[in-house]
Structure 1
Amino acid sequence: MQKPLTFLGAAAIAAALALPVTAQETATADPSTVVATVGDTEITLGNMIVAWASLPEQYQGLPDDVLFQGILDQLVQQTALAQQYSGDLPARIELQLENERRSLVAGEAIEGIMEDPLDEADVQAAYEADYGGAEQAPEYNASHILVETEEAAQAVIEELNDGADFAAVARDKSTGPSGPNGGQLGWFGPGAMVPEFEEAVVAMEPGKVSEPVKTQFGWHVIKLNETRVPEAPALEEVREQIELQIRQIRAQEKIEEVTAAAKVDRSASEGIDPSVIKQISALE
């Protein structure tokens, strides 16, 4: 299969990243502005803007002058190469162009659906559905001491029962990354810890120390410091995700609606071996 042309070489990228960043005034773009011609073919600023928008993120952050020259060079080279090509295009190219156009037009249709204004009542209803009547999951604040064996865990418990300070023992004996911090794990909710650890914490009372708990990491002695049930977030805190959720549902419903309304006949695909989609050589 055809590979895309490289935008900039590694040396050019390294040189560009070493350049100082300078403040520049933002010019007004006129997409119809012709920036170069290759024979009778015009390359416009609009062509360059679209090329920039399709670049990987690591390229888009390069200095403007480097981007401008690199994109212009690429478009000039591509145009010159396209002009010298003779004969019919391979089937794979024609099909790729067909797929690309279909994808872009469909994407534009979805974009229009996603950008339609939202009714505030719908936003409020979605918020109430997600947070209004739902009881928030409890959160836990715990510390632990991680050791390699059950015997070592029992020895830690005996030491704590004799009055040793949990944080001091954790700093001295815990093999986990939280050891230097006195074993403190901070606040966490359901699903944040491995099942065995979470099950032990949920069954504990604040201020208590657990019996040895075995997980894939070793043996834990856990102290539950406190628990809390967080309040539901205010609408404004989650408005962005609520609105995105509504827009995504709306887009999916529209996709299903137009697909159901379209005259679709898939019968010709029946009986075809699914593995044939990997036969790229058939397009040569």
Structure 2
Amino acid sequence: MANPLSSLISLLCAGMLAAGSASAQDGPDPGRVLATVDGTEITLGHVIALRADLPPQYDQFPDELLFQGIIDQLIQHTLLMNSLDGEASLKSEIEIENETRAILAGQVMNRIVNQDPAEDVLQDLYDSVYPADISETEYSAAHILVETEEEAEALIEELNDGADFASLAREKSIGPSGAAGGDLGWFGKGDMVDVFFNAVAELEPEEVSEPVQTTFGWHVIRLAETRQKERPSFDTVRAELSERARQSALEDHIKALQSEAEITRESTEGLDPSVIQNIDLLRK
């Protein structure tokens, strides 16, 4: 549930002359009360939490200005909340439940992903992702993309007659690499769609393919050269491995929770999925 911050900038601008530095004489106690509205306390913790949720556009404002502006915003929120006539709407109650669920889930997630993976975990992951005994070939190639097979065959004839591949690509290709003479740089298995990659893998350096069809159109491919992909050093991929390990730890934790929990999924038969668009159901 997003905070209603549309008026915060105007509050900041209006308070520019009056805003002052926050006093730190008592130390940074998050429970320190900064304002009270009809008995409802607004603390330093409330201000810090709201500041953390502000979008990046607010980074341009100095802290002393944000400090006063956020307090003013929280006072407005409290006044409006206290003025609510009757009970909270069904939509508001559900939004509060969802927000509470998301915030507490995020707290658990952060605790897990912020733990530094052990060195042996990273090393095992490194050996798994980048095995030392598996060699992978990388390819440097260029292509010309056209709409029809007939256009591709005509290009091959021009190339057989001595036409320059890069010049034809700049002139004829409808793909984004055309401006670069069709150059695709270096790539390996998994970087291209299978039918394209398999066609490249069958070529010899300097050889041009027969027309190759993909969902993008028809390709004429020229293989420039190949090389054996080197295993990256552990240190160069440490950050990537750490991210993988953190994500894996989170997934394992969720799986463990699922295995221990009693989860019942009720039948959704007869329920039109488009019902998720019917916000009117929450306005009762």
- TM-score band by shorter chain is 0.7 to 0.9
Give the RMSD, CA atoms, in angstroms: 3.8
Amino acid across the alignment from 2:125: A
CA separation of 1:120/1:180 partners in 2, compared to 1, >3 Å: closer, same or farther? closer
- 1:7–1:71 CA contact under 8 A, matched in 2: no
Aligned residue in 2 for 1:179: 178
Any gaps of 5 or more consecutive residues in structure 2?
14-23
CA distance in 2, matches of 1:132, 1:4: 45
Aligned to 1:158: 157
8 A Cα contact 1:8 1:70, kept in partner: no
Shift of 1:240: 2.1
Residue 235 of structure 1: how far off its partner (Å): 1.6
- Structure-2 separation of matches of 1:41 and 1:91: 23
1:93, CA displacement in angstroms? 4.1
Superposed displacement of residue 9, structure 1: 5.3
User: Within 2, Cα distance between the matches of 1:176 and 1:283?
Assistant: 50
Distance apart, 1:7 and its partner CA = 0.6
State the shift of 1:257 in Å: 3.3
The one-letter code matched in structure 1 to 2:212 is: V
CA contact (8 A) 1:205 1:224 kept: yes
Distance 2:258 2:193 in 1: 43
1:31 paired residue number: 30
TM-score for both structures, normalised by structure 1: 0.73
Alignment-derived partner of residue 17 in structure 2: none
Aligned residue in 2 for 1:245: 244
Mapping for residues 34-53 of structure 1, pairs under 5 Å = 34-53=33-52
SS in 2 for 1:144: strand
Larger deviation: 150-159 or 118-127? Answer: 150-159
Q: Look up the SS of the partner of 2:189 in the other structure.
A: coil
Amino acid at match of 1:72: I
Name which of structure 1's ranges 227-236 and 30-39 shifts more when overlaid on structure 2. 30-39
CA distance in 1 between partners of 2:268 and 2:179 (Å): 62
Label 1:71 to 1:221 Cα distance change in 2 as closer, same or farther (>3 A).
same
Q: Identify the residue that residue 199 of structure 2 maps to in structure 1.
A: 200
Contact 1:114 1:248 survives alignment (8 Å): yes
Identity fraction in percent: 43
Question: Residue in 1 aligned with 2:131?
Answer: 132
Aligned residue in 2 for 1:8: 6
User: Structure 1 residues 115, 175: closer, same or farther in 2, change over 3 A?
Assistant: closer
Shift in CA distance, 63/29, structure 1 to aligned 2, threshold 3 Å:
farther
The equivalent of 1:64 in structure 2 is: 62
Letter in 1 for 2:161: D
SS at match of 1:61: helix
SS in 2 for 1:178: helix
Deviation at 1:8, TM superposition (A): 2.2
Q: 1:126 to 1:83 in 2, by over 3 A?
A: same
Aligned counterparts of 2:106 and 2:148: Cα–Cα separation in 1: 56
What code does the residue aligned with 1:122 have? V
What is the match of residue 146 of structure 1?
145
Q: Distance in 1 between matches of 2:176 and 2:5?
A: 43
1:272, CA displacement in angstroms?
A: 7.8
Separation of aligned partners in 2, 1:206 and 1:109: 53
- For residue 136 of structure 1, report the CA deviation from its aligned partner: 5.1
The residue type paired with residue 234 of structure 2 is L
**Partners in 1 of 2:102 and 2:235 — Cα distance?**
34
- CA pair 212-96 structure 1, distance change in 2 beyond 3 A: closer
Distance verdict in 2 for CA 1:126–1:40, change over 3 Å:
same
Change (3 A) 1:271 1:183: closer
SS of the counterpart of 1:187? strand
Query: What does residue 220 of structure 1 align with?
Result: 219
Q: Normalised by the size of structure 2, how large is the TM-score?
A: 0.73
CA distance in 1, matches of 2:209, 2:176: 20
1:104 corresponds to 2:139: no
